[in-house]
Amino acid sequence: MSEIVTDSDLIKYVEQAKADALHSFNFLKETGTLSATWTYHITHKIPGQDKLLNIRFPWPWERSRDPVVSIDTFSEKKDHILHESRIDADTVIHAHTPYLAAWSLAQINFPILYVAAQRYLLAREIPNHLDRTRSVLSIISERLDQHPELAPPPALLESNGGANIWGKGIIGTSQLVLLIEEAARFQSLAEQVGGAKEYTPGALEVQWKRTGLVEKAKQYSGRFIADLLKQKAA
């Protein structure tokens, strides 16, 4: 969506964002990605304006099925994760999904070992937000400061709760919710037959080439490109 320049443009933008949110909510609910509480809240930075669009979907026991829409002043939300430019995101979704919630409850980081999710992500794991007295922004900014060799994570598990996942656009970020939850589900099922393993030689390069991320991966010297180069050498 392009930069907003008039009030009528803003109204149209919000209506389109609401339609995108409803479409995303429906496919996440219908695919069983969301937990039974249907916890799914969107925060989206409106381009060209100091505005933060919030879209909250009702709990299943609420009689109204209409999402609640509100707008905040972005600059006043100083602890919001979207102030961290290094994550390159304009949308954050807070969702409770069954298998990511299980990793959150276990209080361990989630390694991404499922190619359908990994091909869209440079990060190889999602951290767990253990110190809930600190903001998501504080936790992620500290991680990026301390580990510039690692690609920015696409999410932060909410210890003993759900997850915050960020990306570009409402639909695009919702697709990440689906893929990352699917990875958590399949990796949990794999525990019954020996556990999910690391990628075989060349697999990372094949996946990243499909989405144009292989060159970007080489910006990072941590586990990401190191694994890829190690596999090539083997």
CA–CA distance, 51 with 72 (Å, rounded to integer)? 6
Average of per-residue pLDDT across 76-105:
97
Percent of the chain with pLDDT strictly greater than 90: 87
User: What is the per-residue pLDDT for 223?
Assistant: 63
Q: How confident is the model at residue 6 (pLDDT cuts 50, 70, 90)?
A: confident
Would you say residue 157 has pLDDT above 70? yes
Average of per-residue pLDDT across 87-107:
97
The model's pTM is: 0.92
Q: 231 versus 107: which is more confidently predicted?
A: 107
Would you say residue 224 has pLDDT above 70? no
User: What is the per-residue pLDDT for 1?
Assistant: 46
Up-side HSE of residue 24: CA atoms within 13 Å toward CB? 28
Q: Which residues contact 133 (CB under 8 A, 6 or more apart)?
A: none
Q: How confident is the model at residue 228 (pLDDT cuts 50, 70, 90)?
A: low
Average pLDDT of the chain? Answer: 93
Kindly state the tokens that stand for 60.
Answer: 């299943």
Q: Please write the tens of the pLDDT for every residue from 116-137.
A: 999 999 999 999 999 999 999 9
What secondary structure does DSSP assign to 123-163, as a single string?
-SEE-EE--TTS-HHHHHHHHHHH-TTSPPPSEEEETTS-E
Would you say residue 234 has pLDDT above 80? no
Three-state DSSP state, 61: coil
CA–CA distance, 204 with 96 (Å, rounded to integer)? 28
CA–CA distance, 16 with 128 (Å, rounded to integer)? 33
User: What is the per-residue pLDDT for 111?
Assistant: 96
Burial of residue 193, with CB atoms counted within 10 A of its CB: 0-12 exposed, 13-18 middle, 19 or more buried: exposed
Pairing type for strands 155-158 and 128-129 reads parallel
User: What is the per-residue pLDDT for 218?
Assistant: 86
Would you say residue 100 has pLDDT above 80? yes
User: What is the per-residue pLDDT for 233?
Assistant: 53
Would you say residue 231 has pLDDT above 70? no
Average of per-residue pLDDT across 84-96:
98
Under a CB-based contact definition with an 8 Å cutoff, are residues 163 and 95 in contact?
Answer: yes
